[in-house]
Each structure stands twice: as C-alpha cells, then as structure tokens.
Amino acid sequence: MNVIRRKPWALPESEATPEDMFWNRRKFMTGIAGGAIGLTAFGGLRGTANASDDPSAGLYPVPRNDSFKLDRELTEEAVASTYNNFYEFGTHKQIARAAQALPIRPWTVVIDGLVDNPQTLDIDALLAKMPLEERLYRFRCVEAWSMAVPWSGFALSELVKLASPQSDAKYLRFETFNNPDVAPGQKQSWYPWPYVEGMTLAEATNELAFMVTGVYGKPLAKQFGAPLRLALPWKYGFKSIKSVVRISFTKERPVGLWEAIQAKEYGFWANVNPGVPHPRWSQASERVLGTGEHRDTLMFNGYAEQVAGLYKDLQGEKLYM
C-alpha cells in the first residue's frame, strides 16, 4: 500500500486516500458487511466474540444519554471495526486482526502530575467507579473520512474530579501503552512512541470530552483502542488517543506524536473547520464510511454550540490544524 516513496512517517495519515483505493476498500467492506462470508473469514475479529470474554462485558449495554443527537445514520459496526487508524499495529486501516494481540487485562491507568490525588487505577476498579453512559457521536478524521458511532464511557470531567488538579495544572497529557512485543508498529523507531496527545484543562472539562470504554453496546473492541480511549468529537480524529495508560496534569503544553513529527500539518488544537484546508488537501467535505456518501464538513464537526466558547480568547492560536 505504501507505493509513494516519501519519508516513512508521512504515510498515510498525512495523505488523503485516493478515490480508487477508496472504492476498492468499499467493495472489501461491503463483503464483510454482507454477513456470512465476512463472519467466517474474520471470526471474532469484529469484537463480538471477544467482547463476551471481556471481564467488563456484564456492564453493557449502558443507558443512552439522549442529549447527544446525530444528524445521520450510525456507521455499521462491521464497517467501523474494520477500518481503523492504530499505527501501533500498522500504517494501514486493516489492523483489526493484528490488534487482537494486545493484552487488555491486567490494565492500569496512572494519574499523575499536578494533582492532589495522584493514583494508579485498575481498569475494572475505574469502570466500577464511573457513571457509564452511551453517547452517539460524529467522528471526523483529518484524512477527510467520517463515521458516527455509539460510544459507551464516562465524561472526562469525572476523571478530572477524581484527580483534583492543582491550580497550576493547565493541560492534560495522555499516553498510550508502549509494548513493541505485541505492537509491531512500535518497532518502527522513526515514530516517537508512545503515542501522546493532549488538551487544555478547559477542553477536558467540556461536557463533550468523553472517555470511551465500550462501543456498539459492548466493551471496546481492541482495534478501537481498548480498554480506554478518548473521544473529542469536535477535533480531528488523531486527538482521540487509544489504549491509554497514563494521564498527566501539566503546566507545559504537551506535544502529540503527530505534532512531534509533522508540526506544520498537525498541531495541538486540531479543531475541525471546513474553511481551513490541510496544507495538502481540502477539509470542506468528508467521505462517510460505509455509504460512500460525501457530506459537507461542519464547523467544530457540528459541535460549535458546545465548544466555540472555549476558543474566544485564543484567536492568535492555530486553532484549526
């Protein structure tokens, strides 16, 4: 798939998918969605079979919070769970099978930095503590594809409360696991592993910021970033970091993996804005996964009402890359 020769890290996150590849992929995905054939070929890969082995399976489905509404159909599970960005398992979209190698128990999440309650939490203890709910969210990748998914999880603000940030904490820095023995992508030493992402404390306590623990009414399948990932639906998808092991409260603005390797194209804020093109392609519209439909991209991915106020006093910042 990596046919165009360029710096290895420039592939393919930083490259809009050529249409011909997209249509081939569509045929492939339609095959899976078709049912019996896909199911036989892929076994439990979609997460259905694996999810029932997950010790948190009994927690799902969780009640839906109806204040988060969609303007479109949900993306089919078979589509969303077989088209993933998870560079730890490969630089292409078909990493779902490889991602099954990730051990998700035991799993601990460290909360540290400028907080009154630093702690190491076992994932199942965290799940038991948090008010789980389902939210239907849009998702917009910087590569100009989109989906709509029913995440389960809890508001990030709940975790912030648990940590009790000190007055000089301004940012949250999230870190993914680092285990090249199970994640072959992490043997590619030109990436600055582990994957890191961050946001301001104000963004983290916005009602939309969501810690995801499940999807499609089940525990999170591994390819989605089990057992704990982020969803910041008004930002480009690379901000929604997967398989989180550490959350640090900091005074300094964290530098994400993509910003570290390509700061001219991937910044800290990465808010969706159809009027601000990526340096190499337009962000005006998006391909809807599974349907092939093209839609106009919305300001803040349709969440302006909830988040525009966060940026009022930040007009000097590069808010949209």
Task: Record the tokens describing residue 203, joined without a space.
Answer: 């963004």
List binders of Mo ion among 217-246 (CB under 5 A).
Answer: 237-238
* In the complex, least distance from residue 70 CB atom to ligand MTE, rounded to whole angstroms: 16
Q: How far is the CB of 228 from Mo ion (least distance, A)?
A: 19
> Total number of residues binding ligand MTE (CB under 6 A)?
17
The interface mask with ligand MTE, positions 162-191, x = CB under 6 A, is --------------x---------------
Kindly indicate which of the ranges 83-91, 126-134, 271-279, 303-311 contains the residues binding ligand MTE, using the contact rule CB under 6 A.
83-91
The span from the CA of 172 to the CA of 195, in Å, is 14
Q: Which of 217, 55, 79, 221 is nearest to 136 (CA)?
A: 217
Burial 182-201 (b: 16+ CB within 10 A, else e): ebebbeeeebebbbbbbbbe
Asked if residue 190 lies in contact with residue 259, where contact means CB atoms within 8 angstroms, the answer is no
Contacted by 240, from ligand MTE, Mo ion, none: CB < 5 to 8 Å by type: ligand MTE
Binding piece for ligand MTE, criterion CB under 6 A, among 3-11, 41-49, 54-62, 238-246: 238-246
> Rule CB under 5 A: is residue 147 a binding residue for Mo ion?
no
**Nearest CA to 85 among 284, 303, 258, 203?**
258
Whole-number minimum distance, CB 90 to ligand MTE, in Å?
Answer: 9
The Cα–Cα gap between 148 and 71 comes to 9
Q: Which is nearer to Mo ion, 214 or 237 (CB)?
A: 237
Under rule CB under 6 A, residue 237 binds ligand MTE: yes
H or E element, residue 174: strand 171-176
Distance CA 14, CA 39 (A): 32
Question: Contact positions toward ligand MTE, by CB under 6 A?
Answer: 13, 84-88, 141, 176, 195, 224-225, 237-238, 240-243
